[in-house]
């Protein structure tokens, strides 16, 4: 019935209009609400960028203070939600722990189930921004068998997260300002990226009028995949694999070009960027600096740079316009900060959260929104007669 257009992967199909994020993939431009990512990375903070994405404008000082103080008042998890972590196996991957705990927020805040009340959406927004770092830190603590720390609300969002992750209950924890600033910067760079897989998932789930927690939980699961947020862990595993098999970058690149099963250059390529990913450019510039200060693993950074140089000089990658993306260098930095490889995608989720929230809110307020319901091109059998099991 009617003409449908087949577009696997939505290569050409826009599902919504949006005012939040602008990407020019050919020119390598990224702007949040009109502000170039380079300026935000250099001059803004993650909390300010979160406000900008969600509310559309940079806050003045009073607005920023109020936003930060509201978030700091909601960082605690309900004691029953804390017990939730006991039910997972000790070696559980932290991404499904994260999405499960976010999904469970709907059971603790059942008023959130009606997503049309503006005050309700506002408090759910604050709760999510405040509690996701606590949930993430507890997922880490659970995996290393260490006790949970209550948040210290005199600290900023990133500092609080670092303390809850790496601190111990009876010991003072000095937040390293270089480390906190570096993580804040990485969160800014991940904060939004228009209709990527996880954000589209948040919108699709939300389009059925599912609440904010349910929609974001779905987005976290979409981010988990190695072609999306999971790529940052995959890059580090790839670099270690190259190192452990003798460090021959050229032969690894050949395996990629020969399309060996499951061998891709992780952290390379992008659906929209056909030029250097501007986020990767910023990260690369700061990687040396940060790794120098935090004492990163130089051998892996060396392999990464060699791999990049090799690929950028090779026709296979040049013809396909494959450049490093945001995930290529982040893993090295996260590792130098002390995070285990398994945890990297959780850090991506913490950064992307304000973007997901902004898109969910924009969608709910857009009169043009309809339930997401793609069509298909049917290629199965035409009508057949049912055959009883004894006759098959």
When the beta carbons of 192 and 327 are compared against ligand CMC, the nearer one is 327
Q: Which one is catalytic: 270, 310, 359, 381?
A: 270
Which of 228, 255, 274, 305 touches ligand CMC (CB under 6 A)?
Answer: 228
Report the C-alpha gap between 247 and 263 in whole angstroms: 16
When the beta carbons of 152 and 194 are compared against ligand CMC, the nearer one is 194
Say if CB 197 and CB 222 are below 8 A apart.
yes
Side-by-side strand order, sheet with 35-36: 21-24, 29-32, 35-36
Closest contact distance (angstroms) between CB of 159 and ligand CMC is: 26
Is 315 tagged catalytic?
no
Task: Check binding of 255 to ligand CMC (CB under 6 A).
Answer: no
Task: Check binding of 256 to ligand CMC (CB under 6 A).
Answer: yes
Which of 129, 205, 283, 326 touches ligand CMC (CB under 6 A)?
Answer: 326
334-363 b/e (C-beta count within 10 Å ≥ 16 → b): bbbbebebbbbbbbbbbbbbbbbbbbbbbb
Task: Check binding of 268 to ligand CMC (CB under 6 A).
Answer: yes
| Residues that contact ligand CMC, how many (by CB under 6 A) | 20
Task: Check binding of 202 to ligand CMC (CB under 6 A).
Answer: no
Torsions phi, psi for 21 (to 5 deg): -135, 135
Task: Check binding of 270 to ligand CMC (CB under 6 A).
Answer: yes
When the beta carbons of 4 and 227 are compared against ligand CMC, the nearer one is 227
Per-residue contact string for residues 26-45; x = within reach of ligand CMC by CB under 6 A: --------------------
Q: Whose structure tokens read 């900008």?
A: 52
Strand partners, 24: 29
The C-alpha R_g of the chain, in whole angstroms, comes to: 22
The torsion angle over the Cα atoms of residues 340, 343, 347 and 352, rounded to 10 degrees, is: 160
The two tokens of residue 383 are 């009508």
Is 270 tagged catalytic?
yes
Task: Check binding of 84 to ligand CMC (CB under 6 A).
Answer: no
Task: Check binding of 180 to ligand CMC (CB under 6 A).
Answer: no
Say if CB 349 and CB 233 are below 8 A apart.
no
Catalytic center residues = 270, 327
């Amino acid at each position: 019935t009617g003409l449908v257009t087949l577009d696997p992967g939505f290569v050409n199909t826009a599902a919504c209009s949006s005012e939040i994020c602008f990407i020019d993939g050919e020119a390598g431009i990224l702007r949040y609400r009109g502000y170039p990512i380079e300026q935000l990375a250099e001059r803004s903070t993650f909390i300010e960028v979160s406000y900008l994405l969600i509310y559309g404008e940079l806050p003045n000082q009073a607005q920023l203070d109020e936003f930060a103080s509201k978030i700091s008042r909601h960082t605690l998890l309900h004691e029953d939600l804390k017990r939730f972590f006991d039910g997972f196996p000790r070696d559980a991957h932290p991404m499904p722990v994260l999405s499960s705990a976010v999904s469970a927020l709907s059971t603790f805040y059942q008023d959130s189930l009606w997503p049309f009340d503006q005050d309700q959406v506002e408090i759910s927004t604050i709760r999510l921004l405040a509690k996701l770092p606590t949930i993430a830190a507890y997922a880490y603590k659970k995996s290393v068998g260490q006790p949970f720390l209550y948040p210290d609300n005199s600290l900023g969002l990133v500092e609080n997260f670092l303390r809850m992750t790496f601190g111990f209950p009876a010991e003072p924890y000095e937040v390293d300002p270089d480390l906190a600033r570096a993580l804040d910067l990485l969160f800014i760079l991940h904060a939004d990226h228009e209709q990527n897989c996880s954000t589209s998932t948040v919108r699709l789930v939300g389009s059925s009028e599912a609440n904010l927690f349910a929609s974001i939980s779905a987005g976290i699961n979409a981010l988990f995949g190695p072609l999306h947020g999971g790529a940052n862990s995959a890059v580090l595993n790839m670099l270690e694999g190259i190192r452990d098999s003798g460090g021959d970058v050229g032969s690894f690149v050949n395996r990629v070009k020969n399309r060996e099963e499951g061998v891709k250059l992780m952290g390379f390529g992008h659906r929209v960027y056909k030029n250097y990913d501007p986020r990767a450019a910023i990260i690369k510039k700061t990687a040396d600096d940060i790794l120098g200060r935090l004492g990163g693993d130089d051998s892996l950074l060396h392999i990464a740079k060699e791999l990049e140089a090799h690929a950028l000089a090779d026709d296979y990658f040049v013809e396909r316009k494959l450049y490093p993306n945001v995930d290529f260098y982040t893993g090295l930095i996260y590792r130098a900060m002390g995070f285990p490889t398994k945890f990297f995608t959780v850090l991506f989720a913490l950064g992307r959260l304000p973007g997901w929230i902004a898109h969910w809110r924009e969608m709910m307020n857009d009169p043009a929104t309809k339930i997401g319901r793609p069509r298909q091109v049917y290629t199965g059998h035409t009508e057949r007669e049912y055959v009883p099991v004894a006759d098959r």
